[in-house]
Structure formats: structure tokens, C-alpha cells
Amino acid sequence: MVEPRDPAGRSLVEGRARVIALEEGQVLLEPIVSSGCKGCVSAGLCGAMAGSNSLAARRFRIPDGDGLKVGDRVVVGLGQTALLKASWLAYAIPLLLMLAASMAADRLWGRDGVTALCAVGGLGAGMVWSRWRAAAMSRRGELTPRYLGPAPDDDVCNDHGNGC
């Protein structure tokens, strides 16, 4: 098993997507829901399988340059560090600021109402900081998946033959 890597040698997290449209040097892609999801007994209730609207919201663009056509199934990759950095920015920073603000308020005043208000303030400040850092990462192209190649034909079913 060979782990996918980018040109700099960093390992990538793979995903499958379908080409939806070609737009001025860019390709619009829609993620393909994994066959594992299709086999799940909660598939009808799960948000990840909630139909075309959910998938449409997750469409993304990559630069064209590989002669892709509408309907092609492709493999895209995102750097492992980018995924971790994105998780850190989106969840950990707001959460840590919320915890820090509420602990400080608890030490200073010790009243539940004030502590709760400070927690909300910390969460808001964390989200503003995340937005600023994410914008910088996005400008550097760190959050953009890259095209790795066409998806194999036998990729529709999972290893156990479920969800075909």
C-alpha cells in the first residue's frame, strides 16, 4: 500500500469527487459520499447522506490543467497538516479561548451567570481569530485540495462489497 504524497513529499488525505462543471480555468467538483455511508442503517437520517443539497454545499474548485470532463470521477488529496491545522483553527482555538475566559471569570467573580457570559465572549473572540487565520491560510492555498488522478472503476463498492 503506497501512501499518497504531494510534490514536497508530505502525505495526503484522499477523497473522491465528481466533476460538475468547467469554469474559466477551474473545475467545480462535488464530493462522492463514501459507499460505507450507503451501507449504514442510519443513512436515511444522517446529515452526510441528506441528499443533493448537502452535497451541493460542499462543492469546491481546483485549477484545471488535466483535461477533465464533466462527469469524470477523480481522486483529490489534501495535506495531512492542512487538515489538522484546519481542525485546530475551526474548533480548538474558539474552544480554548472559551475555557480560558470562563476559568478567569470563575476565579474573579465565581458567579455562574457572569462565567457563562464570559464563556460566550471567549467563544466569539476565538471565532474572530479563527476567521482571520483561516483567511491567511486560504490565501496561501493551504486549504485547497489537489487533483491526484482518476478514480478507479471498481471504486464504487467498498472492500466488503456493501453499499453498491
157 is a site residue for other proteins (CB under 8 A): no
109 is a site residue for other proteins (CB under 8 A): no
Give the residue, chosen from 21, 22, 70, 116, that forms a contact with other proteins under the rule CB under 8 A.
116
Three-class SS state of 28: strand
What does the block give as the cell for 74? 477523480
125 is a site residue for other proteins (CB under 8 A): no
Nearer to other proteins, 47 or 67 (CB): 47
Longest dimension (CA), the chain: 63
45 is a site residue for other proteins (CB under 8 A): yes
Number of H helices, E strands in the chain: 5, 5
Q: Are 11 and 5 in contact (CB under 8 A)?
A: yes
Three-class SS state of 39: coil
What does the block give as the cell for 20? 460538475
156 is a site residue for other proteins (CB under 8 A): no
123 is a site residue for other proteins (CB under 8 A): yes
99 is a site residue for other proteins (CB under 8 A): yes
- Number of residues located near other proteins, criterion CB under 8 A: 49
Give the residue, chosen from 57, 153, 154, 164, that forms a contact with other proteins under the rule CB under 8 A.
57
Residues 73-97, buried b or exposed e (16+ Cβ, 10 A)? bbbbbbbeebeebbeebeeebbeeb
What does the block give as the cell for 54? 448537502
Residues in the site for other proteins, rule: CB under 8 A?
1, 13, 31, 36, 40, 42, 45-48, 50, 54, 57-58, 60, 78, 80, 82-84, 86-92, 94-95, 98-99, 102-103, 106, 112, 115-116, 119, 123, 127, 130-131, 134-135, 137-138, 143-144, 160
